[in-house]
Amino acid sequence: MTKTQTVGVLALQGAFAEHCRHLEKAAAKLQKDVEVIEVRTPAELDKCEGLVIPGGESTAISLVAQRSAGMLEALRKFVTVDKKPTWGTCAGLILISSGIYDHKTEKQTLAGTPEIDAHGNKVADQTVSALFGGLDVVVSRNYFGRQLGSFIAPLKLSNFGASSTITDKDATFDAVFIRAPVVFKTLSDDVKVLAEVEDPSDTSKKLIVAVEQGHMMGTSFHPELSEDTRIHEIWLSKFL
């Protein structure tokens, strides 16, 4: 008899309910014995074999995690010490990254290295100081601008991996990008690029919007805002 696996969705802010529904549908299609739970406390996180960190507002998520007793430390342990399967989408990608690049000021800040102002004082970026880390990338937040700059782009599914439910090797997934980050830079050869899109301001330039490293996956887009569950199916197939 197979053991039921528990997958958590961080439910501090963002589209966690949609992720839960997609994971449940994906597990049913794969005939995997998976329980999906909403995670708000270290005790709930401790039950999980895998975790999805949803889109939303990265600063808000990090602040709520900091104010929830022991939650930020528990998340960091889950991701970087226990190395359990973790998938960050949009804001979730930011939180599992190793640093932030501001494309307007062209400044990069890595976790653990606070910026120094003109007076020699340390300036803490609240999101950078609350990064969970684990994924060796630097991201640029809100790269595509305001919500009016949202768009949908087709991404080749086979680049993400295989699932018994997907038989068409040329199948694409319509990815929804809303105030999305991009991966500005990879910091390790262990990071595998899964998907790129054209830069709207320079079509000769490609932007990294999905990556994988060991037990971690990060996507700039919101797979939970589509009716399509195939990215969730691939994640469950690969990591659990």
Verify whether residue 90 is a known catalytic residue.
yes
Verify whether residue 119 is a known catalytic residue.
no
The answer to whether the beta carbons of residues 236 and 27 sit under 8 Å apart is yes
Residue among 90, 212, 232, 233 flagged as catalytic: 90
Residue among 19, 22, 222, 232 flagged as catalytic: 222
Residue among 20, 22, 224, 233 flagged as catalytic: 224
Verify whether residue 215 is a known catalytic residue.
no
Tell me the Cα Rg of the chain: 17
> Residue 112 gets which letter from DSSP?
T
The answer to whether the beta carbons of residues 91 and 56 sit under 8 Å apart is yes
The answer to whether the beta carbons of residues 8 and 51 sit under 8 Å apart is yes
> Residue 4 gets which letter from DSSP?
P
Facing residues of 10 across strands? 39
Active centre residues (catalytic): 90, 222, 224
